[in-house]
Structure 1
């Protein structure tokens, strides 16, 4: 689904990370771990075509997306990608339903079918019946769950999630992890930037980002087993 080949990113004289090579396949749930400031969010932004790497390739369907123009980038974000941002990226002066309806427009869903999909997604994230509430009236954790429901409605092939459990209590964090796991099991390629061991331990593999070093693949522990620190070689 996504092949990252010898990717590097720097700012001025500082190299954030270099020679990153990772393959993300359909049906895989991958964790991106590392200390604060190591560049996890920047790597997600490069994959999501919100930022450009300094060197290397990001391949999708055999095409190098680092060479995409504005139209190709727009089509990838619209047709392929679902992005769960750390700051939610919702329309604050709109209702919950209006925020989710945005995700139904690319598919040109029939109104009744779209409404049903929105209701089902909100129920799954524990926000049933909240369609008419304004986003700015919701807590941070509720907004995060609305953002996840929006991705569920869109049904993308690739999902990038930046600290998706950071604003959530244990029960809601478990729900979010379960949903991302379900999306992966259904064939979606999912990459999660996280410092949450609960998330890491549910993933198929983890990658550790360290300053000026590679992203290194390591198998995660079976669910319930103690997590170990992943280090780059």
Structure 2
């Protein structure tokens, strides 16, 4: 699904990483590991078109996404990509349901289907009946579970997760990884940047960035 070819990222005269070559297949969950400062989040951001690599290519189904037009980038994020941010990336001044509704693709936005989808997603992450809660009143762990429910609703083909369990206890960490593995089993490709050995061990493949800023 995603093929990374000779990818490099520089900040001025500093090379964060270079010469990265790897492939992430459908139905595969990859742990992206490395010490702090090795550029795990930056690599996720380059794959997700939030940052631009300095050299190389990121191919999705044979097309270099780094060369997409603005409209192409927008469609890629809307139709293909799901992001599980470390800071949740929720709209805090609205409800849980409203945050999930924006993830629905237009063809699935009929009211009856939406109600069922949101209800099932919230039940799966342990937040059944919380549709009307204001996001800013939720704990950090609850907000991360709302973000996970948003992914379930969206049903993306590719998930990029940046330290998704960093602020969670063991029970909720296990639930997050279980859901991501269910998405993987359904054919989604999942890339997780993590420091957690528990998360790493539940992934299919490990890709390491080393402290010398190149692929390991």
Which TM bucket (shorter chain)? over 0.9
Residues 15, 211 of structure 1: 8 Å contact kept: no
Q: Which runs of 4+ in 1 moved over 2 A?
A: 105-109, 211-215
Residues 79, 106 of structure 1: 8 Å contact kept: no
Matches within 5 A, 1:57-206: 57-206=57-206
Higher relative contact order (CA 8 A, sep 6+): 2
Q: CA deviation at 1:211?
A: 3.6
Residue aligning to 1:9:
9
Aligned length: 216
SS at match of 1:129: coil
TM-score, normalised by the number of residues in structure 1: 0.91
Residues 17, 211 of structure 1: 8 Å contact kept: no
Residues 16, 214 of structure 2: 8 Å contact kept: no
CA 212–68 in structure 1, closer or farther in 2 if over 3 Å, else same: farther
SS at match of 2:130: coil
1:53 and 2:53 are equivalent in the alignment: yes
**Residue deviations 1:34-93 (CA, integer Å, cap 9, x gap):** 111110000000000100000000001211111111100000000000000111000000
Q: Which runs of 5+ in 1 are unaligned?
A: 216-231
Q: CA deviation at 1:106?
A: 3.5
In 2, Cα distance between equivalents of 1:40 and 1:93: 30
TM-score, normalised by the number of residues in structure 2: 0.98
Residues 9, 15 of structure 2: 8 Å contact kept: yes
Q: Which runs of 5+ in 2 are unaligned?
A: none
Q: CA deviation at 1:167?
A: 1.2
Matches within 5 A, 1:189-228: 189-215=189-215
SS at match of 1:104: coil
